[in-house]
């Protein structure tokens, strides 16, 4: 875990979560709705306005930490697991860009590259032969925008990484705390506002993310249309489940459609990994509050469906809110 005070920040399409940690211990958790049209399809529309909003949230919650561990949206990064010949760090930095030549069509010098070593593979004589690694490529321009945004908010960018690394940190912490020695497969379902994301970690290491649409935004849209309500009111009614609105028959049918898509993705993973030991799907995100949706998913798939809180070893009083955006905590544990 981290050895200094950090703010983990994850900016979604609808909400922003902030985890304030000291020596890896969660001290404060903030989950707030974003102003309208500040983020569209995972893209920040106005970086200046986002910086001002960040500063406002920091001030309102009396957060004194300045260093930030930032979640980089998946669409702004390429993540690859590769096996490369053993080499020095300098040689690796020269070779990393070439591992993305099938993905990056523009000038490769416009990207920053980083790596995480999973395992060094030795030959029969015990000498390093190959490296099992996770590689990341992200546009320099995007990273610079995050740096500028945070500076405007009075903060400093300490690290930035895709959300799958945050989930990986949560898995790693869980395995260390529970002395898990057998290589285990994990699936984490992020039930978000604009889409559903199912992240697979084979043997505890990230393999692939499957994105399914729509997300939970269609629920509030349906309620607004049905009841002739303003979209904001419909969203609030959905979140509070006023008058049991999430039990609407038409919504249950929608939950079923979402569950079927998740089942299909899970079946495809099982087909490609016939010997896997995946026995649970851990859910998180704003849709975690919609109990009929969780129940429909649980009834549709063969593995157990549980909250990501089962993976989080820090049994904090913030847990109910934390499962809405656990990435902000996981990234601090980098």
DSSP codes of every residue in 104-123: --S-GGGEEEEEEEEEEEE-
Question: What is the predicted pLDDT for the residue at 93?
Answer: 94
pLDDT at 2: 42
State the architecture of 182-312 in CATH terms.
2-Layer Sandwich (3.30)
The answer for residues whose C-beta is within 8 angstroms of residue 13's C-beta and 6 or more apart is 34, 39, 40, 41, 42, 192, 193, 194, 215, 217
Residue 228 has pLDDT above 90, yes or no: no
Would you place residue 333 in the very low, low, confident or very high pLDDT band (cuts 50, 70, 90)? confident
Query: DSSP alpha helices (H): ranges in 96-248?
Result: 140-152, 163-177, 217-227, 231-240
Alpha-carbon separation of residue 287 from 150, 170, 238, 297 (angstroms): 28, 20, 10, 12
- Residue environment code for 108-117, b if the CB has 16+ CB neighbours within 10 A, otherwise e: eeebebbbbe
At residue 3, the pLDDT reads 45
The sign of the CA dihedral 38, 39, 44, 45 is negative
- Asked if residue 208 lies in contact with residue 164, where contact means CB atoms within 8 angstroms, the answer is no
Q: Which CATH class is domain 77-140?
A: alpha beta
Q: Percentage of residues in the chain with pLDDT exceeding 70?
A: 99
**Residue range 113-150, pLDDT digits in tens:** 999 999 999 999 999 999 999 999 999 999 999 999 99
Q: How far is it, in rounded angstroms, from Cα 228 to Cα 28?
A: 38
CA angle 160, 12, 334 (to 5 degrees): 30
Mean pLDDT value of segment 5-9 = 96
Q: What is the mean pLDDT of the chain?
A: 93
Rounded CA separation 9/330 (Å): 10
pLDDT digits (tens, 9 = 90+) for 146-168: 999 999 999 999 999 999 999 99
Instruction: Please work out, in degrees rounded to the nearest 5, the angle formed at the alpha carbon of residue 323 by the alpha carbons of 252 and 167.
Output: 110
Q: Is the pLDDT of residue 26 over 80?
A: yes
Among 135, 125, 123, which residue's Cα sits nearest to residue 86? 123
What average pLDDT does this structure show over 183-204?
Answer: 96
CA separation for the pair 163, 93 (Å, rounded): 23
Q: In the prediction, which pLDDT does 40 show?
A: 85
Question: 3-state SS string over 259-285?
Answer: HHHHHHHHHHHHHHCCCCCCCEEEEEC
pLDDT the model gives residue 1: 42
Residues 6+ apart with CB under 8 A from 129: 85, 86, 121, 122, 123
**Predicted pLDDT at 235:** 84
Confidence at residue 179, expressed as pLDDT on a 0 to 100 scale: 95
pLDDT of residue 286: 92
All CATH 3.30.420.40 domain ranges in the chain, comma separated: 182-312
- Examine the pLDDT at 327 and tell me if it is beyond 90: yes
pTM of structure: 0.93
Query: Which residues, 6+ apart, have CB-to-CB distance to 63 below 8 Å?
Result: 7, 18, 20, 28, 30
- Rounded CA-CA distance 186/43 in Å is 28
Residue 90 pLDDT greater than 50, yes or no: yes
Residue range(s) occupied by CATH 3.30.1490.300 in the chain: 77-140
Backbone angles phi, psi at 50, to 5 degrees: -65, -40
Span 173-201, average pLDDT = 95
Alpha helices, DSSP H only, in 178-273? Answer: 217-227, 231-240, 249-272
- Name the one residue in this structure whose structure tokens are 């490769």: 108
pLDDT digits (tens, 9 = 90+) for 95-112: 999 999 999 988 999 999
315 falls in which pLDDT band (50, 70, 90)?
confident
Confidence bin at 232 (pLDDT 50/70/90): confident
């Amino acid at each position: 875990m981290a050895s200094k005070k950090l703010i983990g920040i994850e900016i979604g399409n609808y909400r922003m979560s902030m985890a304030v940690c000291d020596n890896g211990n969660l001290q404060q958790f903030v989950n707030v709705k974003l102003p309208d049209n500040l983020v569209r399809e995972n893209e920040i529309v106005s970086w200046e306005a986002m910086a001002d909003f960040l500063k406002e949230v920091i001030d309102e919650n009396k957060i004194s930490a300045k260093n930030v561990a930032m979640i980089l949206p998946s669409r702004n990064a390429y993540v690859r697991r590769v096996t490369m010949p053993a080499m020095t760090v300098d040689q690796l930095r020269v070779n990393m860009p070439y591992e993305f030549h099938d993905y990056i069509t523009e000038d490769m010098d416009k990207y920053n590259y980083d790596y995480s070593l999973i395992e060094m593979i030795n030959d029969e004589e015990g000498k390093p032969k190959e490296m099992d690694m996770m590689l990341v490529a992200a546009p320099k321009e995007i990273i610079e925008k995050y740096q500028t945004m945070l500076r405007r908010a009075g903060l400093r960018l300490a690290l930035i990484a895709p959300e799958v690394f945050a989930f990986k940190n949560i898995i790693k912490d869980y395995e260390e705390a529970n002395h898990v020695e057998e290589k285990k497969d994990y699936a984490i379902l992020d039930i978000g506002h604009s889409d559903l994301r199912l992240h697979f970690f084979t043997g505890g290491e990230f393999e692939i993310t499957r994105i399914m649409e729509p997300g939970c935004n269609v629920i509030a849209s349906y309620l607004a249309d049905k009841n002739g309500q303003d979209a904001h009111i419909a969203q609030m009614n959905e979140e509070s489940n006023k008058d049991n609105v999430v039990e609407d028959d038409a919504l249950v049918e929608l939950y079923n459609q979402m569950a079927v898509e998740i089942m299909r993705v899970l079946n495809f993973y099982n087909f490609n990994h016939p010997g896997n030991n995946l026995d649970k799907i851990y859910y998180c995100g704003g849709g975690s509050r919609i109990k009929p949706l969780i129940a429909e998913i649980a009834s549709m798939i063969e593995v157990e469906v549980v909250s990501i809180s089962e993976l989080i070893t820090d049994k904090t009083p913030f847990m109910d809110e934390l499962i809405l955006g656990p990435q902000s905590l996981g990234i601090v544990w980098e």
